Amino acid sequence: MKIELTASDGHRLSAWRTGPETASRGLVVVQEIFGVNPHMRRLSDHLGSLGWAVVTPALFDRVERDVELGYQSDDVARGRDLRAKVPEDGIMLDVEAAAAALPAGAARGIIGYCWGGTVAWWGATRSRSFRAAVGYYGGGIAGTRTETPNCPVQLHFGEKDAGIPLSDVELIGQAQPDVEIFVYPGSGHGFACEDRGSYNPEATMLAESRAVAFLEKHVG
């Protein structure tokens, strides 16, 4: 269900809410650079079906409302352009608004994909709202790898990701020895998105099993 949130600076943004409204555990799910599109809604609904209350904020609303992109080259270019225009402080205000929209008293986690993988990392390092964070192929994590996480973190990368070389993954591991990092052989960027050509169902299933177990352990 589409809802509206209000961030602490007064900005109003839409979000997708799903899962049990009285759940004792909740997840903020963070979008790729393609908006809260059908893939992100399906993914959110799936996590909701596992018993999590889920809120997926539309982070592009600070620049342009109701953005839903596909996965062609022009969509990638537009998504990158929109991402560049969203201020980092605004991103975190919107993430905090999404966390606040989860059921009262629910233990909270954060999980993100692509751009959202980086934002999930920031959710661990720039917020104290979450008990655990999971990031999938976040290209900006290496650049902020020295930030200190406030909760346990698990990260997932594709071995063949053209935008995130394994050298970056190694740097993250060196800077954050306590962070769980998994690399999926033969997988590219976006391997967990069924709408992309890089989709790898086997890697997706394995990554999800690890992510869900990690979140259940640390969030509840």
DSSP string, 13-52: EEEEEES-TT-SEEEEEE--TTBS-HHHHHHHHHHHHTT-
189 is catalytic: yes
Question: What tokens appear for 171 in the block?
Answer: 């740097």
Q: Is 14 within 8 Å of 2 (Cβ atoms)?
A: yes
| Antiparallel, parallel or unpaired: β 180-184 and 132-136 | unpaired
DSSP string, 107-165: EEEEEEETHHHHHHHHHHHS-SS-SEEEEES-TTTGGGTTSPPSS-EEEEEETT-SSS-
- Could you say which of 11, 161, 168, 195 is catalytic? 161
- Could you say which of 39, 189, 195, 218 is catalytic? 189
161 is catalytic: yes
Q: 149, 146, 115, 147: which is closest to 130 by C-alpha?
A: 149
Residue numbers annotated as active site: 161, 189
